[in-house]
Chains A and B, each alone.
Chain A
């Protein structure tokens, strides 16, 4: 069984037909094409490089790649793509991260003290803009107690900030993160606290095992279900989208 495939399926499921989706490279790109090939044929993809609604013939490994631009209905600048977020035209955005806290806030800037970091990371890029302004966002993050932390070293990208009302005070128009897709299952957020809680587990994963990989206490779940493994048709689609298994290996 492939956890990558389960993650890609879970990410694809977050995309609704007709959505405008803001996508980066990696697993979200594979997930977006999986959604487009299955339940969401009318999804429109937007990339921060300025490429809008492309029809690439092969999987790109970068949002700035010329092969991603093939067949696009519009190619403009980065500002034009990001302005779509501020206009509320983007329904869903995907994010990755080095650290994530219970509210879904992300750090992709620095490990250690910001001014003299132990490890300097690349910085926000478009992530803060996506998380601030897309109608909803989804975080992709493998479990681990150094990634899922009580306190971030630096808050690069807003989740629910400090909880209910905080995003509105900060002037952020989007609803914030709705799901966190991990290699053990899918997490959501309690409506009362806006802290993370389990929603669906991958086959063979227990709630206890998931909590073990998270460095803060998850809120009590409402109802936890187990996700069915991918069927042969889905695996075949994933193989066609990502033939070399660059982002989605079909075996662990």
Chain B
């Protein structure tokens, strides 16, 4: 099997203007922010997102003026509040929204992944998610039908979604693209299975023999991965389970700036567009700051500081 390691620049070239993306992560965990920081610095237009919980990706793309529409189920900042630039983009009509439940969004990705015309499921029926389309016609998205097997059961069916590119950040991979990640993995398996092209950024590259020792920890097989980028702290300022906590101070700093469109635009220029590359982005944060986020290997998180 081929060596799939590429540079970050080569991976970015896989995302053209107008691409439909999906990105890994949940709340403040394992979102591929290093990749998207670099994509924002390069600049793209008219991107779409098929997302479940990659709130920071959605927000930063919106803040950079690169997001045109979103199929999604929930974007909010746990512990902070609304994704301001994303939400205001919908309010002022610059971003078109198509709403789902989490399970509804996942089942559309599964239908895409399984190459099926629809997936049956049991939630969403009877609500405006099913009855009122965003930019899709509702009947193209969700229908409630009688089971074809004549048992009288009503069942919701939902149509497939196939993103052009999935971007996932994980703990480690080998050069072939066997990918491992600890902790709650969110939706990365379904996203990677559905997308036409799968880019994975990782904290560490390991030998395939190392992967073979714990094959049960492999969430994405090399068979589904197209490009692997060695990108330490590639989720920062979100966290990576077993590696580092989210940088809540940095996230909070963005959240404060995001309340005002002008201040947010300055923040994006200064923090996201200015760094020349991933290392300059990390240098601006500083090594002490990054190392202070490392998690306790027993607890899986960085315990609150004990007062002296």
Contacts and interface: CB of A to CB of B under 8 A. Distances in A.
B247 interface: no
Interface in A165-187: 166-173
Contacts of A212: none
A50 B132 contact: no
Contacts of B159: none
A161 B123 CA distance: 13
Contacts of A82: 102-103, 106
Contacts of B124: 128-129, 132
A85 B106 CA distance: 14
Interface stretch (A6-14, A139-147, A151-159, A223-231): A151-159
Interface stretch (B38-46, B83-91, B273-281): B83-91
Interface string A69-94: 11000011111001001100000000
A234 interface: no
A120 B106 contact: no
A155 B88 CA distance: 20
A50 B127 contact: no
A66 B144 contact: no
Interface in B268-308: 295, 299-301, 304
A236 interface: no
Contacts, number: 202
A117 B101 contact: no
Given A62-B28, A78-B186, A171 B53 contact: no
Contact of B301 (A70, A155, A166): A70
Interface of A: 25, 48-51, 57-58, 61-67, 69-70, 75-79, 82, 85-86, 105, 109, 114-129, 132-133, 154-158, 161, 166-173
Given A64-B26, A69-B183, A70-B301, 9 more contacts: A61-B79, A65-B28, A78-B102, A115-B134, A123-B75, A155-B127, A158-B126, A170-B156, A171-B144
The 5 closest A-B pairs by CB, nearest first: A64-B27, A170-B126, A125-B74, A171-B154, A132-B123
Interface of B: 26-29, 52-53, 72-76, 78-79, 82-83, 86-88, 90-91, 93, 97, 99-104, 106, 110, 121-132, 134, 144, 153-156, 182-190, 239, 241, 245, 295, 299-301, 304
9 contacts: A57-B299, A58-B304, A76-B184, A78-B184, A120-B82, A120-B91, A158-B127, A161-B127, A172-B126
